[in-house]
Amino acid sequence: MSCTKEYAREEETQLPKITLRAARVNTKMTQAEMAEKMGVSRETVFAWENGKTPMRTPYLYLFCRITGFQPDDIILPEASSLNEQERE
C-alpha cells in the first residue's frame, strides 16, 4: 500500500473538531455543572466558550478528561489560542 493511500485512510477516520460548547453540551452538562467539576465559576466557562477569556492549557486537559474528547478535537475560540509563552 502506498503512503498516499495510508494517509488518505487516516484522513477518513479522523473525527471532525468540536467547539467547547458543543463538547460540553454533548456530555449533557450545563455551564454551571461544568464549572463545578472544573473548580471555576459559571462565568468563566461562559467566557471560555465565547472567546472572552483564553482557556489555559491545564484547564483544557481537565475539560477533555471530563468530556472524553482529546485536546486536538477541540476548537478553541480565537482568544483561547495558546499564546507564545504557553507554547515554550
Please name each of the domains of the chain with its CATH number.
15-82 (1.10.260.40)
Mean pLDDT of the 52-80 span: 91
Q: Which of helix, strand or coil describes residue 33?
A: helix
State yes or no: pLDDT of 22 exceeds 50. yes
Q: Which of helix, strand or coil describes residue 75?
A: strand
pTM: 0.72
Q: Kindly report, residue by residue over 54-65, the tens digit of the pLDDT.
A: 999 999 999 999
**Pseudo-torsion of CA 22, 28, 31, 33, nearest 10°?**
-150
pLDDT tier, 88 (very low <50, low <70, confident <90, very high otherwise)? very low
Name the least confident of 3-7, 32-36, 38-42, 58-62. 3-7
